[in-house]
Amino acid sequence: MFSYRHSFHAGNHADVLKHMVLVQVIKHLLHKEKPFWVIDTHAGSGLYDLGGKHASTSGEAVSGIAQLWPHRQDTQLPTAVRALLEQVAHINHGDDLAWYPGSPQLAAQMLREGDHLRLFELHPTELGLLGRHFGDVKRGVTIHAEDGFAGLKSCLPPPPRRGLVHIDPPYEMKDDYRRVVQTLREMLPRFVTGTYAIWYPQVARHESQQLPNQLKALAGQLDKVDWLHATLRVKRADPSGRGLFGSGMFIINPPYTLYDRLNEALPWLVEHLGQDDHAAYSLEAQQN
């Protein structure tokens, strides 16, 4: 249960897609002065050392964020890519790409006084690192040593009635796919106006392939709920059935600007992160 450590995967192509979307959602929420919450069901440790043992062992950031980093001064960058790189630059110095922000750090450095970040993490090592990372933060961040799926019940709806729920389990156990759908089925009626960002891996597993359709069907059961589905595939699937060849983000109640931002950014990411001629993207949305 506690074998997954995101530090092995920090800054890979899946993180690029996931965090590019999250930055856009948070930027949209910031347009109004009214406070909001960001709730992260599987927070991880918050910040990752790309020169550390885990990241160096996997080398996944080399084919992910490191491919984008040299382009950060390019004035022709897609808006969403530039916004992500600006947030990554916030925790690095000069030209060196030494650190990569997890979703808690990205949210923390974007939120204002009065906004709130609630983080759930069960992995004992990750939880300890997360607590130390935010140890000097006295207000605005709450950390729970609790299963994030179950913990949402105590958070929704958030008092401001505005917020982002980020659902990002490791999917090491195929039961995670079922729990994503079940959690949303229970939580959406409680906070039907909230934005939900669900990340999932593209792997050779039936549950992964079925999840987007299950989420579309679930959203379709509620009136006036829009959704957006984006995928980024970087390579051919391994014939052995192992490994991550892409990932997807399913957004319920997406910002109205998100489709155009991703329509601009995803082809650029295929060009710069694609590893073979199977690299591709998809983007679809439904408005009610």
Give how far Cα 25 sits from Cα of 28, 31, 126, 166, Å: 5, 10, 25, 11
- Residue 119 near residue 108, CB atoms below 8 Å: no
Residues with catalytic roles:
168
Relative to beta strand 280-286, strand 227-233 is: antiparallel
- The whole-angstrom separation of Cα 116 and Cα 114 is 6
Helices then strands (H, E): number in the chain? 10, 10
The region that residue 11 occupies, defined by phi over 0 for left and psi between -120 and 50 for alpha, beta otherwise, is left
Q: How far apart are CA 245 and CA 270, in angstroms?
A: 12
Which tokens hold the place of 106? Answer: 């990205």
Burial class (CB in 10 A: 0-12, 13-18, 19+), 45: buried
CA 262 to chain centroid, in Å, comes to: 14
Length of the chain: 288
